[in-house]
Amino acid sequence: MTATAVHVRGLSKAYGRTPAVQNLDLDVGYGEIFAILGPNGAGKSTTIEILEGNRKRDAGQVLVLGEDPGTAGRSWRAKIGIVLQEASDAGMLTVHETVQMFTNCYGTTRLPEDVLDLVGLSSSAGNKVKTLSGGQRRRLDVALGIVGTPELLFLDEPTTGFDPEARRQFWDLVRLLAADGTTILLTTHYLEEAAALADRVAVIAGGRVVAVDSPMKLVEHVDSAATVTWMQGDEIRVERTNFPTELIRQLSHAGAELAQLTVTRPTLEDAYLHLIGMA
């Protein structure tokens, strides 16, 4: 058993003459919620497909749960769960029938009733899959991904198309799975999703990892100075400083009327845009 759930060194993959992933390094610890961020075409999907054993690489070392996914067998595959971007469509089957069907693909599984309770679909167990809402269908996707009690769960853009309430409900489900000991590797376009869920975030641009850190520490990759904005008469005043409290104190002592005062600091979005611009 390796010290990390995912260990990647020098991963490269090209499609014809177009490189998708170039000399990529990555480590994901056991029990982590690890997010991968990057623009379209950055190499996220290719990387994930290689880690899942669904795409061959051109070069590099890849170990997932201690084995090479390119050659690992059925026992290894039973240890991973995959939730793709596409919603499930089991036609006329009910939710319970769909989960029950998938239990036949694994040696050891959770009971369908337990899985549906875990993802919040117990009350919909007898409903046809085609009648589910988008959020419910996504929960069914997760149910199918975790029915085999995976050690590592891949979530590919799991909340695309969700409304804000459904997205936050899904976040609660991800946290519950992580608390149960599941390592989770997710890709997302939503920066607030990475900030809310991930222990660490990798930013990928141009097929390379340009930064890996906690969401909070990624912000340190940009200028950390605060921006202080206020109205002085009819004029908007803006000043950047590393010591906003001292600036406000000085302005107050000088008799300035600090109407509409705001203090803002760089966000994860600022850091992300800065990092992908470096590639």
- Global pTM reads 0.80
**DSSP helix, strand, coil percent of the chain (3-state; round to 5):** 35, 30, 35
User: What number of H helices and E strands is found in the chain?
Assistant: 10, 12
Closest of 135, 134, 126, 133 to residue 99, by C-alpha: 126
> For position 90, what pLDDT does the model report?
66
Mean pLDDT by 10 residues, the chain (279 residues): 86 94 95 93 91 96 96 91 73 90 83 89 93 85 88 89 82 90 91 92 91 86 78 83 83 77 80 74
List where CATH 3.40.50.300 sits in the chain: 1-79+150-161+174-220
> For position 134, what pLDDT does the model report?
80
Query: Are 42 and 34 spatial neighbours (Cβ–Cβ below 8 Å)?
Result: no
Fold of 1-79+150-161+174-220: Rossmann fold (3.40.50)
Phi, psi torsion values for 243, nearest 5 degrees:
-130, 70
> For position 251, what pLDDT does the model report?
80
> For position 168, what pLDDT does the model report?
87
What one-character-per-residue DSSP string does 55-96 give? S--SEEEEEETTB-TTT--HHHHTTEEEE-SSPP--TT-BHH
Task: Let me know if 166 is exposed, middle or buried by CB neighbors in 10 A (0-12, 13-18, 19+).
Answer: middle
Beta carbons within 8 Å of 171's beta carbon, 6+ residues apart = 159, 193, 196, 197
> For position 1, what pLDDT does the model report?
47
CA dist 47 and 154 (Å) reads 12
Query: Are 121 and 139 spatial neighbours (Cβ–Cβ below 8 Å)?
Result: yes
Query: Are 268 and 197 spatial neighbours (Cβ–Cβ below 8 Å)?
Result: no
* In the block, residue with structure tokens 């890709």: 187
H/E stretch holding 236 reads strand 235-241
CA dist 1 and 197 (Å) reads 26
